[in-house]
Amino acid sequence: MPEKIRSRMENAWCMYDWANSAFTTTIIAAVFPYYYVSVAGKSLDPNVATAYWGYTNTFAMLLTAVTAPVLGAIADRSGSRKKFLAALAGIGMMFSGLLALVGPGDWILASALFICGLIGWSGANVFYDSLLPHVAAQGRIDTVSSRGFALGYLGGGLLLALNLVMIQPGLLGLESFPGIPDAQWGARVSFISVAVWWAVFSAPLLARVPEPPVRTGDYDRLNPMRSGFRRVTRTIREARRHPDILLFLTAYWLYNDGIASVIVMAVAFGHEIGISQGHLIGAILAVQFVGVPFAILFGRLSGWIGAKRSIMVGLGIYCLIVTGGYFMTSPLHFWILALLVATAQGGTQALSRSLFARMAPEKRAAEFFGFYDVSAKFASIMGPFLFSTVAILTGSSRNGILALLALFVLGGGLLSAVNVERGARATSDPGRNEI
């Protein structure tokens, strides 16, 4: 393939990270959680509203975890990865915009719309990730994956900054201008902005990245769900033929458990110890922008010491983060730890994605990335559960933070035993690639 065309495909693929990170920052991390508790859950006790928000996330993640491998298997055998990506992303966009309908006390509607939006966002990511080994040349997978994460940080951060101005126009002295919405309507407009941003910047991928070639094999076009389940069952039976992939997925499940817990619980813990909302929101924005150069740096670091060793560096930084979190008492401490997260989060996750892409069979990439995303989804469920359980049993959230250290240590230990070259050779065998 000519280098110019390859470069254009890589750039188009990376722009989808810019597009869908609008949902990550505005709806998952910053604006909608606060809106859910303070507006949609206005009729509930504060602790009940927070608990319902947690249950909403858990239910949505369980649904995506169960369906992801089946969707991946269907897409691989039907030659429709881009169609599935577009359809699921469209669902995510639509329900993101519909969140603007949520008013005071509408927590049931808020939960239902968020679950549908999260399923669309998460499901589309399975097919987006599975396109990576097709888009990037083998020697550029780490670089392209890291660039995607960097653009995601930048795009999500820019839209979040715009949305925060709409929610708090006083930040720029705009509150006296006619037509400027109040905080509640600013939040509603921000949900619509996510849908628009996501749709506009998804266009390059859909236009410039071709559908990967596929062999239909035993795919049943009249009953695609049955074919999908059959492929998943067969993959599980054949798992012993890919021991390095299984070992990596176990390691990823553990250390990504820790990463997910830091993301989900950081603001809640910061609020618990008395850190103001301004510092919490400021730190979220800082992570988005500081994370850009570090995600790129990790891509270059992998060229010097390898992807696996680079991930180990990131896990070492996370060990420092959770240890420091145990001793955190002030806004300054929170900012320092947030900046440390920015140095490691994007690079660690980007290189994990590219390392897995190197070992996954290219013609079954969506199916294998379905299992990869299952690890991420269950991490999003179990990590916060571990944090909360330890905190309740010991009577201290600080102990819950410290418990996360075990996830990074165990995950790093298993990752060190993964033989990436052997795993890649195993799946490059045509007999194993065409299970």
- What average pLDDT score do residues 374-403 get? 70
Residue predicted with more confidence, 135 or 50: 135
Residue predicted with more confidence, 117 or 173: 117
Contacts of 2 (CB under 8 A, 6+ apart): none
51-65, 117-131, 223-237, 333-347: the lowest-pLDDT one = 223-237
Residue predicted with more confidence, 73 or 331: 331
- Residue 367 is predicted with a pLDDT of 61
**What are the backbone angles phi and psi of residue 103, rounded to the nearest 5°?**
-120, -170
| Tokens linked to 43 | 């009729």
Q: Which of 156, 207, 141, 112 has its CA nearest to residue 424?
A: 141
- Residue 191 is predicted with a pLDDT of 96
Question: Could you say which of 3.40.50.2300, 1.20.1250.20, 2.60.40.650, 3.40.50.1980 is the CATH number of the domain covering 3-210+228-433?
Answer: 1.20.1250.20
Domain ranges of the chain: 3-210+228-433
Residue predicted with more confidence, 155 or 241: 155
Under the banding of pLDDT at 50, 70 and 90, the label for residue 233 is low
- What average pLDDT score do residues 127-138 get? 82
- Asked whether the beta carbons of 109 and 239 are under 8 A apart, the reply is no
- Residue 38 is predicted with a pLDDT of 80
Under the banding of pLDDT at 50, 70 and 90, the label for residue 232 is low
CA atoms 14, 433, 376, 115: torsion sign? positive
- Residue 433 is predicted with a pLDDT of 43
pLDDT surpasses 80 at 272: no
pLDDT surpasses 60 at 228: no
Q: What is the 3-state secondary structure of 207-225? A: HHCCCCCCCCCCCCCCCHH
